[in-house]
Amino acid sequence: MQEYQQIAELYAIDFAEVQEDVDFYRAFAKHARGPIIEYMCGTGRVCTPLAADGNQVVGVDTSAEMLAIAQRTKESNNVTALQLHQGDVRTWQSDTRFGLAIVALNSFMHLTSVHDQLQALNNVHRSLLPGGYLVLDLFHPDMRTLPNYKGDVVLDKRFSLADGRLVHKFVSQWSDIAQQLIHVVFMYDISDVHSGVQRKSASFAMRYFWRFEIEHLLARAGFTLQYCYGNYDLAPFDSDSEQMLIVARRNSKSR
């Protein structure tokens, strides 16, 4: 996503420690009957370890800045089974057909219109082998807390850069319940003893989904919902789940 252009390097450091989903995808990779594709792969946080395991993996993202980081990580770890491409989940296609497609960590929520969502799902459908699987990691909205998203600026975390500079990450979120949107701003304040504080930021909107809404979208695109989990440990999805981990299968009959 082009919204991340100014913060790509900071984003990579910020999310490097997010690892709890990687083993989840590794389990699916073991059963994939064909190569794996990760759409909206960003800095390669998920697709790189999957390829390092020996799977043939393709990573696709619109952001050249994010892909440059993924390429550096690939090369520094000598991961030869990963191919990286700049492209859009709605349109990018390969001559290869895949056994498993992944859209990790809420990335599908960047598609805020039904038109874009269906365009993406139809494109993923074309990329998969008959019977291939799609896994979506989605935020589960809680109507008890959504009205509290009022734009307050909250300190999310602190971390240090390799040169010793300190980064304070602030997040602001506000919800538009009628449009099913959460507007988000990431603000990274980089403290330098010589030049003071420099802020880099990114703002974007994310469309949240209800459980049967996503099932309906999948059906329109030629998928059948197989499982809906509430976390990476495969707990059943329920009202208190913070995630919707969607596992859908491409219908065997081609459209």
Q: Are residues 103 and 202 in the same domain?
A: no
Q: Are residues 106 and 165 in the same domain?
A: no
> Residue 1 pLDDT more than 90?
no
Domain span at residue 199 reads: 146-207
Q: What percent of the chain has pLDDT over 70?
A: 98
Q: What is the mean pLDDT of residues 223-234?
A: 97
- pLDDT score of 172: 98
Q: Are residues 28 and 82 in the same domain?
A: yes
CA distance linking residue 38 with residue 60, whole number of Å: 6
174 domain-assigned: yes
Amino acid at 218: L
Residue 76's CATH number: 3.40.50.150
Q: Are residues 162 and 221 in the same domain?
A: no
- pLDDT score of 89: 98
pLDDT digits (tens, 9 = 90+) for 175-222: 999 999 999 999 999 998 777 899 999 999 999 999 999 999 999 999
163 domain-assigned: yes
Q: Are residues 12 and 110 in the same domain?
A: yes
Q: What is the mean pLDDT of residues 71-97?
A: 97
pLDDT digits (tens, 9 = 90+) for 133-158: 999 999 999 999 999 999 999 999 99
The average confidence (pLDDT) of the chain is 95
Q: Are residues 7 and 60 in the same domain?
A: yes
255 domain-assigned: no
- pLDDT score of 253: 66
CA distances from 3 to 11, 66, 94, 98, 164 (A): 11, 11, 25, 28, 26
Q: What percent of the chain has pLDDT over 90?
A: 94
CA distance linking residue 226 with residue 47, whole number of Å: 23
Q: Are residues 202 and 223 in the same domain?
A: no
What's the pLDDT band for 14 if we cut at 50, 70, 90? very high
Q: Are residues 85 and 103 in the same domain?
A: yes
- pLDDT score of 48: 98
DSSP string, the chain: -GGGGGGHHHHHHHHTT--TTHHHHHHHHHT-SS-EEEET-TTTTTHHHHHHTT--EEEEES-HHHHHHHHHHHHHTT--SEEEEE--TTT---SS-EEEEEE-TTGGGG--SHHHHHHHHHHHHHHEEEEEEEEEEEE---TTTGGG-EEEEEEEEEEE-TTS-EEEEEEEEEEEGGGTEEEEEEEEEEEETTTEEEEEEEEEEEE---HHHHHHHHHHTTEEEEEEESSTT-PBP-TT-SEEEEEEEE-SS--
> Residue 254 pLDDT more than 70?
no
Q: Are residues 216 and 187 in the same domain?
A: no
15 domain-assigned: yes
Q: Are residues 110 and 218 in the same domain?
A: yes
pLDDT digits (tens, 9 = 90+) for 42-68: 999 999 999 999 999 999 999 999 999
Check: pTM over 0.75? Answer yes or no: yes
Q: Are residues 129 and 153 in the same domain?
A: no
Q: What is the mean pLDDT of residues 90-107?
A: 97
76 domain-assigned: yes
Q: Are residues 10 and 127 in the same domain?
A: yes
User: How many distinct structural domains can be found in the chain?
Assistant: 2
168 domain-assigned: yes
> Residue 3 pLDDT more than 80?
no
